Amino acid sequence: MPAPSADPPDAAPEALGVQLADADGKLLPQTKEKPSSDDALFKARSRALWDAIVQDKPELAAEFFFPKIAYLDVKASQRPGRDWTNRLMAHFNRDIHKYHRKLGRNRDKLTFERIKIEPARVQWIKPGREYNKIGYYRVTRSQIVFRNVHGNIAALELTSLISWRGHWYVVHLDGFQ
């Protein structure tokens, strides 16, 4: 198995037009803007996640993973930076590798369709729940939808996405841990 990738840079999402911090490097505040799964950014990140799985390269989807800079503000734990690196990012990398193996030898012949989010599963998580200091939207049990080599629809679970400033980010790819 490839070695875990290093933490993505905190400012990586800005490469795709998402501004996380002001000119002084201070994190911009969370908003209650509901994220979309129909915009170009979400579709580009979804494709990057698929490519990361197929190529077994977690770093390709780093911009779709919840930013560390925001996680430090969101979580009400003693060491959120360590939790982000040692648990969340480590599990994300592990799950990319796991899904890569699960797709099998013909993975290059599979066709990515979309990430399917059930609107009824989207909810606002108030401060104080899930060890958070700041609210966010969360959706669980979404799907990475693709066509198999026979053209039939198949899917992988995308366990949890949460929002920051109106954009979805992956937090748990395969299961809560």
The C-alpha atoms of residue 23 and residue 21 are separated, in whole angstroms, by 7
Is the pLDDT assigned to residue 68 strictly greater than 60? yes
Average pLDDT over residues 130-142: 95
The count of structural domains within the chain is 1
What pLDDT does residue 177 have?
Answer: 61
Q: Is the Cα dihedral 63, 65, 68, 72 positive or negative?
A: positive
Domain limits for position 103? 30-172
Whether residue 106 is contained in a domain is answered as yes
Residue 153 lies in a domain: yes
Task: Flag whether 127 is in a domain.
Answer: yes
For the chain, give the mean pLDDT.
90
Is 4 domain-assigned?
no
- 25 HSE (CA, 13 A, CB side): 1
100 pLDDT tier (thresholds 50, 70, 90): very high
User: What is the band of 175 on the pLDDT scale with cuts at 50, 70, 90?
Assistant: confident
pLDDT of 2 above 50: no
CA dist 106 and 104 (Å) reads 6
Distance from C-alpha of 106 to C-alpha of 49, rounded to nearest angstrom: 18
pLDDT, position 4: 42
Instruction: For residue 76, report the phi and psi dihedrals to the nearest 5 degrees.
Output: -100, 55
- Which pLDDT tens digit goes with each residue over 137-152? 999 999 999 999 999 9
3 is a domain residue: no
Here the contacts of 80-88 (C-beta below 8 Å, separation 24 or greater) are 85/7, 87/177, 88/171, 88/172
Residue 1 lies in a domain: no
22 in any annotated domain: no
Does residue 15 carry a pLDDT above 60?
A: no
* 123 inside domain: yes
Per-residue b/e over 11-37, b at no fewer than 16 CB within 10 Å? ebbeeeebebeeeeeebeebeeeebeb
Is it the case that residue 11 has pLDDT exceeding 80? no
For the segment 101-126, what is each residue's pLDDT rounded down to a tens digit?
999 999 999 999 999 999 999 999 99
* CA dist., res. 58 & res. 49, Å (int): 8
